[in-house]
Amino acid sequence: MPELPEVETIKRTLSPRLVGRTIERVEVRTPKFIVGASPEDFGRAVEGARIAGLDRRGKFLVFNLDYPAGGGGDTTDRDAQRAADRVAEGPAGRARPGDILVHLKMAGQLVWCRPGEDLGATRGKHTHVVFHLDDGNELRYIDLRHFGRVYFARGDAGDPVLSRALRTFESLGPEPREGGLQWESFRAGLASRNARLKPLLLDQSFVAGLGNIYADECLFRAGVHPLRRASTLSDKEARALYDAMWEVLAQAIDLRGTSVRDYVDGESRRGEFAERLQVYGRTGELCPRCGTPIERLVIGGRSSHFCPKCQKAPRTDV
């Protein structure tokens, strides 16, 4: 389940292999994965384009393409401009018209491969899009659950699925790390919300990139219960949560993500953060801090894992 650390790892593993390469041919095996254009139009548009940059925004991967006819500008200018835009725009950030956005949702994989490389029957069967590169290698989009999508930002503006995705992309909240989310605005954001913490952390317009796994881990490390109302946190608790986000995400990125099920990076390698998970998926196991059995509760339709002793339940609402 790729969340921020996994998508970041994919970006880092793919960048050196993709940036500067030209897409020679696109093979769309399962049309529904391409949003914004027919497979034919998508192929025609993208073939011959050069991958100028690879970015991550929340859980989206952003392929920035240079097109041979028009558009363009030299790469250095573009990169500088994009970096400047990101700082200037803060959380907003728009997709550029020629970009390809990829959201992997639960089980999507983006994998760099040698030509025709065999990834096994299951992954082979679920390989939906193949980008053939000018050095002969391939970038494959694989998805065992069929939830992910490849969005062509230059596609049909009237396509409701595309415009919804672009709207979602543009309304992403700040990145939790790297100078995105500032303490003061986080503190103020919590204070202004009555929502329960768990759904709030999963709200991508509040903060971008957390998913179910890291939300649970952050709450545990901060010692706050997932049902707590955001506005009821003390300064100390809010600070603990802010720091926990930073630490958990940094550690997870260091270990190249969490492979609970299907996740692998751009080189098909699994991440190693799963063994460091302290509560997620550990219902009934003992809390590493106090030895109390970890409990599971469904909140907002999502399973939540927490230690009932380290994360005190709110007095009301439970």
Partner DNA sequence: AAGGGCCCCTGAAAGC
Partner DNA sequence: TGCTTTCAGGGGCCCT
Q: What SS3 string covers the chain?
A: CCCHHHHHHHHHHHHHHHCCCEEEEEEECCHHHEECCCHHHHHHHHCCCEEEEEEEECCEEEEEEECCCCCCCCHHHHHHHHHHHHHHHCCCCCCCCCCEEEECCCCEEEEEECCCCCCCHHHHHCEEEEEEECCCCEEEEEECCCCCEEEECCCCCCCHHHHHHHHHHHCCCCCCCCCCCCHHHHHHHHHCCCCEHHHHHHCCCCCCCCCHHHHHHHHHHHCCCCCCEHHHCCHHHHHHHHHHHHHHHHHHHHCCCCCCCCCCCCCCCCCCCHHHCCCCCCCCCECCCCCCECEEEEECCEEEEECCCCCCCCCCCC
Residue from 211, 223, 226, 266 in contact with DNA (CB under 7 A): 211
Residue from 17, 57, 59, 282 in contact with DNA (CB under 7 A): 59
Contact call for residue 94 and DNA (CB under 7 A): no
Contact call for residue 196 and DNA (CB under 7 A): yes
Residues 107-126 that bind DNA (CB under 7 A): 122, 125-126
Contact call for residue 303 and DNA (CB under 7 A): yes
Is the Cβ of residue 72 or residue 180 nearer to DNA in the bound state?
180
Is the Cβ of residue 46 or residue 190 nearer to DNA in the bound state?
190
Active-site position among 11, 56, 59, 196: 59
Residue from 37, 45, 142, 165 in contact with DNA (CB under 7 A): 165
Contact call for residue 182 and DNA (CB under 7 A): no
Residue from 19, 195, 255, 297 in contact with DNA (CB under 7 A): 195
- Is 236 annotated as catalytic? no
Contact call for residue 301 and DNA (CB under 7 A): yes
Binding site for DNA (CB under 7 A): 1, 3, 32, 58-59, 103, 105-106, 122, 125-126, 144-147, 164-165, 167-168, 193-196, 199-200, 202, 204, 211-213, 230, 281, 300-303
